[in-house]
Amino acid sequence: MRDVTLGEASAETVRPLSEAAALDMPLLRIEGVAKSFGNFRAVDRLSLDIRAGEFFALLGPSGCGKTTLLRMLAGFETPDEGRILLGGKDIAPVLPHERPVNMMFQNYALFPHLSVRDNIAFGLKRAGMARAEIATRVAELVALVKLEGMEKRKPDQLSGGQRQRVALARSLARRPQVLLLDEPLAALDKKLRESTQAELMELQRRLGMTFIIVTHDQEEAMTMADRIGVMDAGRLVQVAAPRNLYEAPASRWIAGFVGDINLFDGQVVSREHGRLTVSTSEAGPLAVSELWSPVTKEIVSVAIRPEKVKLSRRGPASDEGGSQAINRLDGVVIDVNYLGGVTTYKVKLESGAVVRSSMANTARLNVDAYLAGQRVVAWFTADDCLVLEQ
């Protein structure tokens, strides 16, 4: 993981535009946008740049303001403060029906009185497109979302997955500069959701369109997006590529929201050659690599993802960590959860703290499986540890 670049993982603000990026303006620029409903501040002075052709995900728990932001982009809400620039032009005074932006609604919002064909053609008719041209465009879209033969059906004669496709085709019909997707897969079951994720990504790549998706599902955001903006309480707390978000979260909150993590609070006691020793009350002294940005504070948390914590009976073989320092923690397995592809373990340390480990089940006859009550060594390398300042 040494090749991971983490320059853009700074919290609160978006990274400053580099020289190259300044030449071509971002397609969409959100500048200090705020929106309140009564006393509730839904979006709080948020700034963000989105490049043309990007697949961007807004990720956050419900009520974090991600949908409000999306609705402001579509024009259904007006920002109290700030500007939204599309292609360099302020779109605040532009009404929803005049914006080159289309939205796919969470509940699809298909027109129940119109057939599949008329739903897809709706936006084209309003644009005053010629009849023959509409017919060709609709046929293209129907083929694109694989709904051939369904053109004459009404929405209530379609399955959930088919409705989702109609909604997608309808929102793509006007060839918007930006397509907004509000939890587009939330109503689908797991299998269908996964295949639709792949189709959406394929489609976005093929059309070269800018997609902004709102989701509360971190796996969905990680799978599909080029970049993810994590929102909490109306603010963007981190904007990063999925791998950077997971491997280098900017705060304890993000680390816990995106995936699972073990945290040990402690104090930096020594630093030499890019290696810190952090003294923790729960796990003793831990060796941590200072890989990217220097750690400036003394009171820190050491974070380690469960899949990077390995278990063994006697501890790691001498060559396993390479040249890296290895942290060993002795404990007793207290909980084993077999999940098919992986098994998760909880190991109780002598201090009483619990470390979670998840190990891939790479062999069918898993002779190495640990049982509850067994003494084990949980170990991880210094490079796999992450230092989070408080």
Partner 1 sequence: MARTVTRITRFNMTSLALGLAFLYLPIVILVIYSFNASRLVTVWGGWSLRWYHEFFNDAAMLEAAWMSLSVGTVSATLATLLGTLAAIGLARGERFRGRALFSGMLYSPLVMPEVISGLSLLLLFVALNAERGFWTVTIAHTTLTMCFVTVVVQSRLTSLDRSLEEAAMDLGCDPVRAFLFVTLPQIVPAIVAGWMLAFILSLDDVVIASFTTGPGSATLPIRIYSEVRLGVKPEINAICTLVIALIAVIIVVASFASKLSGARGESAAPL
**Under the criterion CB under 8 A, does residue 160 sit at the interface with partner 1?**
yes
**Under the criterion CB under 8 A, does residue 170 sit at the interface with partner 1?**
yes
Among 88, 112, 149, 341, binds partner 1 (CB under 8 A): 112
**Under the criterion CB under 8 A, does residue 156 sit at the interface with partner 1?**
yes
Range in contact with partner 1 (rule: CB under 8 A) among 50-58, 73-81, 197-205, 321-329: 73-81
Instruction: Decide whether 81 or 98 has the Cβ nearer to partner 1.
Output: 98
**Under the criterion CB under 8 A, does residue 174 sit at the interface with partner 1?**
yes
Range in contact with partner 1 (rule: CB under 8 A) among 2-10, 17-25, 166-174, 231-239: 166-174
**Under the criterion CB under 8 A, does residue 95 sit at the interface with partner 1?**
yes
Instruction: Decide whether 178 or 378 has the Cβ nearer to partner 1.
Output: 178
Cβ at position 206, least distance to partner 1 in Å: 22
Q: Which of 27, 31, 45 shows the shortest CA–CA distance to 101?
A: 27
How many Cβ atoms are within 10 Å of 24's Cβ, its own excluded?
9
Gap between the Cα atoms of 78 and 29, Å rounded: 16
Instruction: Please name the amino acid found at residue 163.
Output: R
Cβ at position 27, least distance to partner 1 in Å: 19
Yes or no: say if 221 and 215 are a contact pair by the CB < 8 Å rule.
yes
**Under the criterion CB under 8 A, does residue 106 sit at the interface with partner 1?**
yes
Q: Which of 262, 280, 251 shows the shortest CA–CA distance to 345?
A: 262
Cβ at position 184, least distance to partner 1 in Å: 13
Instruction: Decide whether 96 or 274 has the Cβ nearer to partner 1.
Output: 96
Among 74, 203, 263, 326, binds partner 1 (CB under 8 A): 74
Gap between the Cα atoms of 309 and 354, Å rounded: 12
Range in contact with partner 1 (rule: CB under 8 A) among 110-118, 226-234, 318-326, 347-355: 110-118
Tokens of 35: 């929106």
Tokens of 340: 């098919």
Angle separating helix axes 190-207 and 160-172, nearest 10 degrees: 20
Range in contact with partner 1 (rule: CB under 8 A) among 151-159, 203-211, 251-259, 346-354: 151-159
**Under the criterion CB under 8 A, does residue 366 sit at the interface with partner 1?**
no
Instruction: Decide whether 192 or 354 has the Cβ nearer to partner 1.
Output: 192
Instruction: Decide whether 51 or 154 has the Cβ nearer to partner 1.
Output: 154
Q: In the beta sheet, which residues pair with residue 326? A: 381
CA atoms within 13 A on the CB side of 245: 29
Q: Which of 342, 353, 345, 352 shows the shortest CA–CA distance to 373?
A: 345
DSSP 211-280: EEEEES-HHHHHHH-SEEEEEETTEEEEEE-HHHHHHS-SSHHHHHHSS--EEEEEEEEEEETTEEEEEE
Q: In the beta sheet, which residues pair with residue 232? A: 235
Q: Which of 162, 174, 197 shows the shortest CA–CA distance to 103?
A: 174
Instruction: Decide whether 105 or 253 has the Cβ nearer to partner 1.
Output: 105
User: Total residues contacting partner 1 (rule CB under 8 A)?
Assistant: 31
Give the residues lining the site for partner 1 (CB under 8 A): 74-76, 95-98, 102-103, 105-107, 109-113, 122-123, 126-127, 154-156, 160, 163, 170-171, 173-174, 187
